Amino acid sequence: MRGVSVATEPLALYRDLRERVVVVTGGASGIGAALVQAFRAQGSRVHLLDRDAERGSLVAHASGARFHACDLTDIDALRQTLAEIEAAETRIDVLLNNAGNDDRHALDTVEPGYWRERFALNLDHAFFAAQAVAGGMRTRGSGSIVMTSSTSWMKGRPGMVGYTTAKAALVGLTRTLSRELGSAGVRVNCIVPGAVSTERQTTLWRTEAARREILNAQALPIDLQPDHVAHMALFLGSEASAGCTGAQFLVDAGIS
């Protein structure tokens, strides 16, 4: 297992994020781990949820976050974990619905059980986590919920129809929840990453040929990194984005 690096000097300092209680789902690796590290570098009180206990514990130890072993597809366990965090901290200020799974699948092989599994992994937990924290945020009159979608649905990327459909649904969920919660001062936004170079992507699919194809398709010829997404999440979690809700924020180097 690779080591975990921790950002110690953030590019921007959001003073209002200091001591904010932040929950990151799927925080054990990739973009999620970058989110944990970025908010910890701001002085936030970060809790990460993941079913990978080994990697989750490593990220938590390296960053000073709190790890909670949780299978996000078990909604009862998810609700209980979030309730325990809110009880211990007295609040949850920022929810980063990051967890997802982009396993490839051929159209002709998809059966109802697998289809539902794609939604359980990529959509369902995002709604129920938002539902779980919404009451406390409403009572306090503030809060930020951030979804994580993907440009794959915008491009109609083949070979992952369950994933792209679920990621498109997150945009609709964002728009509706922003209206449901906006009158109480709670903001709901969506980050839409492009082809981010995570360890998982590099191991499974990002060959050098695929990398060149991605770079040629982007407006910016850069290898997108998890930190690029984390920088946007910091903005959306802070009061610097106080006028933003119901919106999509592309972090895709112009590929869409």
Q: Which residues are catalytic?
A: 163
CA distance 21 to 96: 11
Distance CA 236, CA 245 (A): 9
Contact 145, 127 (CB under 8 A): no
Name the E strands within 98-165: 143-148
Cα distance between the two ends of the chain: 33
Counting Cβ atoms within 10 Å, is residue 165 exposed (0-12), middle (13-18) or buried (19+)?
A: middle
C-alpha neighbours within 13 Å on the C-beta side of residue 109: 5
Task: Show Cβ contacts of residue 30 under 8 Å, excluding neighbours closer than 6 positions.
Answer: 196, 198, 199, 200, 226
Q: Nearest-CA neighbor of 130 among 167, 92, 101?
A: 92
* Contact predicate 194/151, CB 8 Å: yes
Could you give the CA distance from residue 216 to residue 228 in angstroms, rounded to a whole number? 19
